[in-house]
Amino acid sequence: MMKYIDLHIHSTVSDGSFTPTQIVERAARYELSAIAITDHDAVAAIDEAMPVAQKLGIEYIPGIEISTAWCEGRMHILGYFIDHHSPAIRALLDKLQQSRRDRIYQICRRLEELGYPVDPEEVFEIAGGASSVGRPHIAIAMERHGYVPNLQAAFDRYLAYGKPAYVPRWAPTPQEAIDTIHKSGGLASIAHCAVTEGCMENLDKIIAMGIDAIEVYYPFHKPHQEQLLKKIAEDHNLAITGGSDCHGIVRGEPLLGIFKVPYRVLESLKEKYASIKKQEVQI
Ligand code: AMP
Ligand code: ZN
Ligand code: FE
Ligand code: FE
């Protein structure tokens, strides 16, 4: 029987709608052999999901998806086999969460100037246990106050890029993200490159930064893009990764268990991991 995996999944710890436990249970129902939950800038899913995966006989790879600042846009770097309690990843995530909180105050100040006061403490309350407080939580507060008819209007009128209450957010560079993943004992893979603006033409630079793998299998990668990325990975002796980028029911039908990746992809990643660990021992 063919074995399948999914190495790119979001949970309620970031912006997905399934809890880490629900993700593992669904993966078991769909008979996936291995999964990695890769929340945006957050690792809290790991401690919840790992024991459930063990119980259900699913191999679990600790992962993350780090948003990085690249030119005008964003580039997403996936991390696998990370030690999520390592000081390096903790320091990066603390800095990210702090910058998110600072930004909430800045956005609320702008909204007040615009005549739509929102108390930052209310926003933090709405965010509750989420690891990452963000604009969606401000949008909820604005709707509650009757400033906007719905959440989308809050973005369209005030919060989206270029709108009057937009404030940029600090993000690490791709190099910082890759280095942090390495310091945490993990491997870094470049996410959905063929559908990220400015990624394909800069792939050489990212490879030079020490990326270990390229995400080849992705729902929005066309077959010719898959082929090209696979060839580039082979030419540079990089591993390949792949996954559904499932966000639960947030984006239509959940892709977890529907879009799946052959198990040999994980084997390529493990070979890369083993070869790096071997080099480290020799040094
Ligand atoms: P933040 O992390 O605070 O920058 O907020 C990012 C989140 O806000 C995204 O994950 C989306 O859920 C949401 N978002 C960003 N831009 C828009 C937009 N133009 N319309 C609706 N939602 C958006
Ligand atoms: Zn997301
Ligand atoms: Fe992404
Ligand atoms: Fe993602």
pLDDT tens digit at each of 283 positions of the chain: 899 999 999 999 888 899 999 999 999 999 999 999 999 999 999 999 999 999 999 999 999 999 999 877 789 999 999 999 999 999 999 999 899 999 999 999 999 999 999 999 999 999 886 667 899 999 999 999 999 999 999 999 999 999 999 999 899 999 999 999 999 999 999 999 999 999 999 999 999 999 999 999 999 999 999 999 999 999 999 999 999 999 998 767 899 999 999 999 999 999 999 998 888 877 6
- Tell me if residue 183 falls in helix, strand or coil: helix
- Separation of 128 CA from ligand 3 center, angstroms? 24
CA-closest residue to ligand 1 atom 1? 134
Strands 63-70 and 73-80: antiparallel
In total, the chain counts a number of residues equal to 283
Contacts of 113 (CB under 8 A, 6+ apart): none
- Separation of 212 CA from ligand 3 center, angstroms? 17
Counting ligand 1 atoms within 8 A of each CB, the residue from 100, 131, 135 with the most, and so the one to mutate, is: 135
CATH code: domain 4-85+181-282 is 3.20.20.140
In the chain, what's the furthest Cα-to-Cα distance? 63
CATH code: domain 92-159 is 1.10.150
pTM exceeds cut of 0.95: no
In the beta sheet, which residues pair with residue 262?
4
Q: Where are the domains of the chain?
A: 4-85+181-282, 92-159
Q: Which ligand is nearest to the CA of 37?
A: 4
CA-closest residue to ligand 1 atom 13? 136
CA-closest residue to ligand 1 atom 23? 155
Exposed/middle/buried for residue 224 (C-beta within 10 Å: 0-12, 13-18, 19+): exposed
**54 pocket-lining for ligand 1 (C-beta < 6 Å):** no
**242 pocket-lining for ligand 1 (C-beta < 6 Å):** no
* Residues 50, 273: Cα–Cα separation, whole Å: 20
